[in-house]
Amino acid sequence: MRTLILGGTAEARELAHIASGERGFDIVSSLAGRVRDPRLPEGSVRIGGFGGVAGLREWLEANGIDAVVDATHPFAGTITANAAAAVRGSGVPLVHVRRPGWTEVAGDRWIRVPDLAAAARALPDLGERVFLTIGRQGVGAFAGLTEQWFLIRAIDPPETELPPNREVLLARGPFTVDEESRLLARHRIDVLVTKDSGGDRTYAKLAAARAAELPVVLVDRPPLPAGAEVVETVAEAWEWLRDKASGVR
């Protein structure tokens, strides 16, 4: 069964590893190309966009794709929506792999907001020194804030307008709670801004903020397309793929 995995996440790499080693599966992983030195999955890999819904639909048809797994980041809303639109009416099944979002526990001081613009509006009342961990995209939403100082952490340099008072820290996780705690203390951080990505790999910053009794502005995920079929784990995605393959053979 020829399968397209829309990837860029640890889940996508793990699924490609499992499926590529199984007879009867031909896996193609697609990466958006927004990270300069991405961690590549096993098997065939394509990098770059498809050209919107029409381009993706044409690519699926031209490459004889039997199933699509959307294992992109929970905030990759555009490709998720495009995938749903591209397969609609085609008979090609699609499943979305979405790790559960984070849950607030005792000691957390979370302020949930719907988007980055709302996060920027919330900051003036929360502190002057901000740890911004939203990736390099979307940093421009904070460019107009002149009273706050920002520590902006990303894998690659942001390519947008930046807040005037800032330091850019280029680093790739995962990080430990101790590492995050030292970073918060060293930069005298007052407030953390991050996205509700879920999972264990980037949770340490939330634990460190809790220990330091810092407020966290947490950006909610964009909604999935109406009627989306969703699984939470790689094991469930693999079970879904095997089930679809049994209908193809």
pLDDT of residue 204: 97
pLDDT of residue 23: 87
pLDDT of residue 231: 97
Give, as one character, the DSSP assignment of residue 2.
Answer: E
pLDDT of residue 18: 94
Say which residue the tokens 């079929």 belong to: 229
pTM of the complete model: 0.87
H-only helix segments in the chain = 10-20, 52-62, 77-87, 116-122, 177-186, 204-211, 234-248
Q: What is the pLDDT of residues 116-142, one digit of tens each?
A: 999 999 999 999 999 999 988 899 999
Say which residue the tokens 């980055």 belong to: 116
pLDDT of residue 41: 84
pLDDT of residue 37: 67
Pick out the chain residues at pLDDT < 70.
33-37, 247-249
Give the per-residue SS3 of 164-232: CCEEEEECCCCCCHHHHHHHHHHCCCCEEEEECCCCCCCCHHHHHHHHCCCCEEEECCCCCCCCCCEEC
pLDDT of residue 15: 95
